[in-house]
Structure 1
Amino acid sequence: MSLTQDEILLKMAETGMIPVFNHKDIDVAKKVLDTSYEAGVRVFEFTNRESNALEVFRNLRIYADKYPDLLLGIGTIFTREEARRFYHAEADFVVSPALIPDVAAYCTMKGKFWIPGCATLTEVYQAKSLGARLVKAFPGNLLGAGFVKAVLSVMPEMKIMPTGGVEPTEENLSAWFKSGVHCVGMGSQLFDKKAIEEGDFNGLANNIKRALDIIQKIK
């Protein structure tokens, strides 16, 4: 899907949550993507953490074309070369765990929406200087909602997405959204590995729906 940066930001804000997932089995990845979409997800991040992640992503990208309103991005990108490979695999956006100028430069050159990981105000400022519209507060469980509130007090124009330790509970999500986050990224807290291994995709769908409902309620 080809969208402007403003349109991507709006789409991320609409549901308020970006599932973060990886798996070496393409059939499992397809099933998780289907389940997430049916539960209401419209922005999905697959992460570059397995040795065959590029192969799985390429297949998932083709498969996801049946959902014309779904954004499918790639996460855990550390190098320009990784960014290049997934750009050609048609990732809709690129996420990094850290602020990496080479990745920023490549994505900017290609007009690809990119989200750098930041853990200090200095990094958020540098990310903005490099053209970032949205930054990933990572690791979220260590930084906390107070970090988001503090950054936005001096850089209110920035948009922040915490990832890592975000929990699908009303208490946790309320704290994040009250601090001013644009959206949240959620991985292991949302995707129960045992349930996926056992094929309990109904349970997974219920977890995702519950999290999305909580977010819509508190936004």
Structure 2
Amino acid sequence: MDMVATSWRLTPQSLPLLSPKVKSFRVYSSSSSSSLSLSPIIQKTSSLIQNSGVIACLRANSAELAYEAATAALNGGISVLEIVMSTPGVFQVLRQLVKDYPTLALGVGTALNAEDARNAMNAGAKFFMSPATVKDIMDDVVKDEILYIPGVMTPTEILSAYDAGAKMVKVYPVSALGGVQYVSALKKPFPHIPMVASQGITIDSIGEYISSGASSVVLSDAIFDKGAMTQRNFNVIHQLASLAALEGKEAVERKRSRTTN
């Protein structure tokens, strides 16, 4: 028996009707949170971080030393600075620095719970960071006008933090994980997520990290040299801060130039 091929075409009449119970839906990608509008404060802080390319991380054994060292770094050209929670009088120091440098992005580092976050906000912090993603902070802060940068290590942690509302993440401890190459590898699947590289970074390597995709790098001993801190040699801190700020600015400019060309 011959088989006869019957031509046909898809018409609106041939499509099955949707049941009234079936509702339309939208699919949101993991990058959907990047489209959400940022508050003016978060937007300004984020811009300062990404424009400077450097976040100075200060830890000191006294409030007086912290204030003097921070002042030396800020006067040297640093525009983004965090004071680690373990520093005595951290909120007192932060409050005074915010008064002295109202246009800069000053914050707190190693925030480990919601109380730390609230105290930082009350002291005038524009941002704070953690070595890991702290759920209590994320829940309290996402709806507030302050930038929270949670610490992440793996692709899963990066995506989870971003989907939970993080506008920027901190890759930590980056040197132990592979340094520049690790950041470069992470940026391939997540080009839309701003990343800050943290731990073991030197002034000489700022350019490499920014070129690999990092939005900024965290510098601790590279600016607040242990010997200079012990000797209270604030001139050295000022000089290191100036060098770091210049390296960061130039690295960001080179990166943007390559992007636009």
TM-score (norm 2): 0.76
Partner of 2:216: 183
Q: Match for 1:80 among 100, 114, 117?
A: 114
Could you tell me which runs of 5 or more consecutive residues in structure 1 were left unpaired when the two chains were aligned. Answer: none
CA-based RMSD: 1.7
Aligned positions, number: 213
The alignment-based identity, stated in percent, is 26
Tell whether the 8 Å contact from 1:136 to 1:162 is kept in structure 2 after alignment.
yes
Aligned residue for 1:109, secondary structure, equals coil
Indicate yes or no: 2:34 matched with 1:34.
Answer: no
Runs of 4+ in 1 over 3 A off after TM superposition: none
Tell whether the 8 Å contact from 1:161 to 1:183 is kept in structure 2 after alignment.
yes
Aligned residue for 2:81, secondary structure, equals strand
Indicate yes or no: 2:195 matched with 1:160.
Answer: yes
Matches within 5 A, 1:1-150: 3-50=40-87, 52=88, 55-143=89-177, 144-150=179-185
Q: Which moved more, 1:76-85 or 1:56-65?
A: 56-65
Aligned residue for 2:100, secondary structure, equals coil
Q: CA deviation at 1:196?
A: 1.9
Partner amino acid for 1:124?
A: I
Tell whether the 8 Å contact from 2:133 to 2:150 is kept in structure 1 after alignment.
yes
- Residues 140-166 of structure 1 show CA distances to partners (whole Å, capped at 9, x for unaligned) of 111212222222211111001111011
Aligned partners of 1:76, 1:4: CA distance in 2, in Å?
Answer: 21
Which protein shows a greater Rg? Answer: 2
Tell whether the 8 Å contact from 1:140 to 1:164 is kept in structure 2 after alignment.
yes
Tell whether the 8 Å contact from 1:61 to 1:72 is kept in structure 2 after alignment.
no
Partner amino acid for 1:212?
A: A
Aligned residue for 1:98, secondary structure, equals coil
- Residues 28-61 of structure 1 show CA distances to partners (whole Å, capped at 9, x for unaligned) of 11111211111111111001124x3xx3322431
